[in-house]
Amino acid sequence: MSEFLFVSDKGKKLNDKFVYNVVTKYFNSVKSLSKKSPHVLRHTFATQMLNNGADLNSIKELLGHSSLAATQVYTHNSIEKIKSIYKSAHPRSR
């Protein structure tokens, strides 16, 4: 068992740049994506956690942020989701 998430077939830690390049290669093959950076995975992870009830402080720790302010950037997506649900479900939203 390795302490690293991404390892070679020999169990050695993969170089950060190598992982970045592999992820970018696959993102570039998806034509429907407008943003194709591996950083999109962090945003998706944080947004999904937040939308499914995770505590903002917990997300901060998982992302390795030192400041809660850095993590609050992800709350924008959740607010947009709430607005969308409100507009589609509330009778006075029209």
Asked whether the whole model's pTM tops 0.85, one would answer no
Question: What is the Cα–Cα distance from 66 to 6, expressed in whole angstroms?
Answer: 24
Same domain for 77 and 56: yes
* pLDDT for the residue 15: 92
Same domain for 82 and 46: yes
Question: What is the Cα–Cα distance from 2 to 22, expressed in whole angstroms?
Answer: 20
Specify the 3-state DSSP secondary structure of 13: strand
Same domain for 88 and 52: yes
Same domain for 79 and 58: yes
Residue 86 corresponds to which amino acid?
A: Y
The CB density around residue 44, as the number of other CB atoms within 10 Å, is 12
Confidence of residue 94 (pLDDT cuts 50, 70, 90): low
DSSP string computed for 14-74: PPHHHHHHHHHHHHHT-TT-S---THHHHHHHHHHHHHTT--HHHHHHHHT-S-HHHHGGG
pLDDT digits (tens, 9 = 90+) for 32-91: 878 778 888 888 888 889 888 898 899 999 999 999 988 888 777 677 777 787 788 888
* pLDDT for the residue 21: 92
Same domain for 81 and 62: yes
